[in-house]
Structure 1
């Protein structure tokens, strides 16, 4: 067997064991190769290297010519050999004294762990394998918790076991990093389940429940949810149009906000049927490639609150606070997922969109009618980008519906972010002008909105549309109008033309009470 292995080493790795009487197999190997060659083996139980068994010589040769951490225990005294890769896992307490030392004398503090494994291999019971195992060792003056992935394998000697080969990795950094991620995930999971508002994560086009929190279970009653589609778990929701809304959000990738939506739940397990009123958000879960993989559901049962007008302000503040907490959780999950410098730009853009969404939601919750001032929408959307009055805006007093307010906020945030990075706001002389007006034309009143940049770098139309441009074109479809994005040389221009009636468009009668 060793002859065949030696031939393979010669052909594939470019080195070979020399004559059995030579110690040239100790050549190379970096620092540990030099230490092995200078070690007084003749005055040890091993004897001169020229006399070592062929299987040991071959294994030592392998050990010295790899950078992977490897270690050998040989003979009844378990005399030790190791390479440069293993040396890096040791502290000054053992290196270089461990070379040629007896195993049990060297590793007394962990012998209760590794001793039985070594004995099992020497007894002919085959190899061992341990993954992510805690084996504390003393190094650098202190006892350290160290996690290892390692194997112990037999080294043959004329029909019996002559020693043990160790191939290992110190995975402590990876273990601790995974533990931190796990702890953070557990904390976020706890926040998710303890949140007072109802939450659920739906996956796929069939809207299968992946996660639900305690508030969601209380809302719909104790019925099996996880692993079942909304249609299967809550069939009455499909009859009331909620699944239709989910399909629309999944297909378009545009969030849906429902306010004061009535909902009828059929009693299960001896529980009575209930009539509810809920506020909710269906937020698409968008992957890196822009595809929608699921929907995040968040909301609050407002049944009791709608019975009394005096509770309305309190309700809005509660929903506002809870959505902010939800966005904070989403931001924390994104930070954990996208940590690392290569994702900093994507993470910053994602957070900017969350902030814009939060501002729009703040404006909506402060309104008692569900309609918000266009002036407030524009002012809030540019707040994070305003610089020494370089963004100006003007137009008549107009109100927007909730969907239109959210869509315009996200679109303005994308435009302002792009202007700050690449457009007019990236230059000291650059400016942005925002204006809107209502004109009377044939067929009724027409709303015109214009974003215009000037004084910035020369603009060229990109070869392909970016995510931000696609999102602008998508979200502004809520106005049911025409959107034109022009890359003029003096600056980007965006115009939105729609009917005034579309500024406050709400769900049709057939969609009332659906989510």
Structure 2
């Protein structure tokens, strides 16, 4: 059984009208004819805007919705539209509608018909307007309450900024006048009177230091400025001398609704104690490194004095080179405050002291990787031994020889697993030594204990050293 959709829609309590692609009325159900007070014969075949004339915003709103349906083939809705209906006396009754326009396409997918479903919301609109008229006083009271709440929130925000541990200030206008400054900022500048004054008037000592120029640039460009522990000479008491300070801060532009800069927000903290502590630590570390170097020099001198009468010049030379490699590792760690060192930097520094890390016969590749001081020193000694042996017996003893140094890292449950490979090619024929020398023992003991392994391979292709360690 095929439903009779015309009869079905005719029985619906909702108004429906069917339009063709040219917006001419094809059919309307009884409810539509009832709410519009028209007969089907009277409006059938007429253009919708001819049958129900309209102008202004109502016309534009309805026409735009129907055009969108024709162009896109998608349903379009109008939540609220005023569309007056002619009455029997030739005048117009005010009506408000909610409309849904549904496209009906042909076999080619082209919009053929449009079904308009309208709901008369005039009574709802009248009730809404009546409620609005009756609620003017309530709205006024609500606005007053919201203003009071906003004022309370503003007061709370000012209190929070006032108590903030970092310094905060707000500058308004192009002249950079202080609008607000919290307790930390006032303490920073020696309790001077700020509000209403320009930065140059309140803090004249910073003009020559270029900070007013920086504020001008932030205001003109709308780009923030970040101060990274910048040195500032500031008068922190009314009659005091200028004191050296180091400040971390930002000059953040404040934009109005049109996108123009209307002020600058200043926020930061005093990093003077941090900088002084780091300088002191750096001094101690440098002193420690100086003493280590002196100790190494004493050890080298004792060795030379102790074995002066013995024919061991070559051994002393090797011993001195090992001390130099150790000193180079200490220098690198000193630069890093004995915290961590980059694995690549350790390798390049050690090679530079032996064969120069820019030697075309040597290729180095691997990611940035921070390692702790102990494995950094061990790695430096290992690379020194490998480079020394390569110069004497391995690939670097010939012009054709080549060395590739590679490393990689992966995160495991135990930590960061590092794989290091020293590979020699095109050198002299490789033979496994009968006995283990100091260099071999140093390599295997340096990384062959705990969560690590060191393997020396003497293959026909060339010598290889593989080191794996969990750091």
TM-score category of the 2 structures, normalised to the smaller one: 0.3 to 0.5
User: Which of these two proteins has the greater Rg computed from alpha carbons?
Assistant: 2
What TM-score do the two structures reach when normalised by structure 1? 0.36
Larger RCO (CA within 8 A; separation ≥ 6): 1
